[in-house]
Amino acid sequence: MSSVNPPATGGGKKGVVLWAILTTSVASFMAGLDNLVIITALPTIKDKLGGSLADLEWTVNAYTLSFAVLMMFGAALGDRFGRRKVFVLGLLLFTLSSAAGALAPGINELIAARAVQGAGAALIMPLSVTLLTAAVPAEKRGTALGIWGAVNGLSIAAGPLVGGAIVEHLSWQWIFWLNVPIGLALAPVSWRKLTESRIAGARLDAVGTVLASVGLFGIVLGLIKGHGDGWTSAGVLGSLIGGAVVMVLFVVWETKTEHPMVPMGMFKIKAFTAINLSGTLMSVGMFGAIFLMTQFLQNIQGYSAMEAGVRLLAWTAMPMVVAPLGGMVSDKIGGKPVVTLGLAMMTAGMVWWAVILEPDTSYVAQLPSLMICGAGMALFYAPLMNLTMGSVAEHEQGIASGVTAATREVGAALGVALLASIFSANGGYASPQNFVDGLVPAMWVGAAAVAAATLSMLIAPGRRKGIHAVAASAPAAAAAPAAPAPVADQPAPAPVR
């Protein structure tokens, strides 16, 4: 087998590298931003379109769930039909569904548009990593992927601020309209400036995609409905158990099929498994906490959407300062200590919240936790993809980036559902104190999830035992503009396991 060779303009030339960083970073920023950009608009959307707490959860989870489930499929589509082609298709799908979200007449139509948006993001995110990796020389990939990771982390953190500013000064629909001109401009630029590549002989795993979709949907649906219908009700138990059974079938299928969506053998690599477990647990804690904290600032402390977003700047601005430094340091000492420190800082910030939160807790008292969590998130995201790419063989990097991004989105969907369930089981919206009664135990659970992510990275193999920069790949292979499939009679290089 051999890959389609890109034009001769690739291979690390300065102009190609700069365009690759710009286009992939802007696209991933747009996809990442829409994870949480809707958060500060939820009270307004509830007033305008109606809906219950579960409906509001689905406006977030419809996006993160389709994003997560289809990401590996998106990576496989790129390998099969051309990464640039599928990347641009994802941009157009994301743009059109954003317009549909802006035009949604009711909460159900908005949830449907968000699900399609997530599908577009699932094509954008993993391919942005492989396209960027292909364009950047091996010795500079840590810095380039650090920039990409910083932008990605910033996009998630900036979501509440951007959403709050738009709701305050325009209307909630402009949260979605904003994507339209950016997407329409970025698609032709990406088509012209990025080089095409694909893996000959790549196959799609439609059965695996369906099984993963049904299984994850069942688990998330059970978590969302549990606090309302009762955890022992037939519907909730059936959803949770059924979803778990289907996920087991998914794993069995992936180990048997010739062309799996998620090669289970990759999880035999201890470094790769630790990275993905940490990413999932981090997202469970942080996304669930963000979902509740933005409502705390608005509904309990009385801030407008814009005021809440401004007060979150202490958190959202930190990645701009810390993430580039984290990327450079990871090139020197390896990504593991940087990621581990970031997770430990996020744990500390969430514990701070859990200890101090009361209905009248001042913003000054909350400020240290915001800054610590922001800096920790920056350190986590900056070297993460470089760690992922360095833990697997070069021909596995496309699907590996998809798996890593997907596990974080799965964590996000589970985190919003889980922490909202804990919140509802212990409190509610009846009074400010009732809200805090639910928020504090949810925050402790979120902190425990991020602490477990920290432990996972601590016990992972170190730089000399498997987590290594991509620059460790052979120079000739690393400098190639694409990650080709191996020739039929030549085995693929194996990663350190």
Q: What is the predicted pLDDT for the residue at 414? A: 78
Q: What is the predicted pLDDT for the residue at 473? A: 36
Q: What is the predicted pLDDT for the residue at 464? A: 43
Confirm if 446 and 421 have CB atoms less than 8 A apart: no
Q: What is the predicted pLDDT for the residue at 447? A: 93
Confirm if 229 and 236 have CB atoms less than 8 A apart: yes
Rounded Cα–Cα distance for residues 184 and 148 (Å): 21
Q: Which long-range contacts (CB under 8 A, 24 or more apart) does 231-237 make?
A: none
Nearest 5°: the CA angle 452, 212, 71 is 80
Q: What is the predicted pLDDT for the residue at 146? A: 66
Nearest 5°: the CA angle 295, 300, 305 is 50
Confirm if 283 and 465 have CB atoms less than 8 A apart: no
Contacts of 398 (CB under 8 A, 6+ apart): 75, 78, 79, 83, 126, 127, 130, 199, 483
Q: What is the predicted pLDDT for the residue at 425? A: 81
Per-residue pLDDT of the chain (497 residues; tens, 9 = 90+): 334 444 333 444 666 777 877 787 788 788 877 777 777 777 788 777 876 667 777 787 788 778 877 877 787 788 778 888 898 999 999 999 999 988 988 888 898 999 899 889 888 887 877 777 776 666 666 666 666 766 766 666 667 667 777 877 788 888 889 889 988 998 888 888 777 776 666 677 788 878 887 887 787 778 767 766 777 888 888 988 998 899 899 889 988 888 777 778 778 878 788 888 888 898 888 878 887 887 788 778 888 777 777 787 777 667 666 766 666 666 666 677 888 888 999 999 999 988 998 888 888 898 888 888 888 887 887 677 667 766 666 666 666 766 777 777 778 777 877 888 888 888 877 888 988 898 999 999 999 999 999 998 888 765 544 444 433 333 333 333 333 333 333 333 334 33
Q: What is the predicted pLDDT for the residue at 158? A: 67
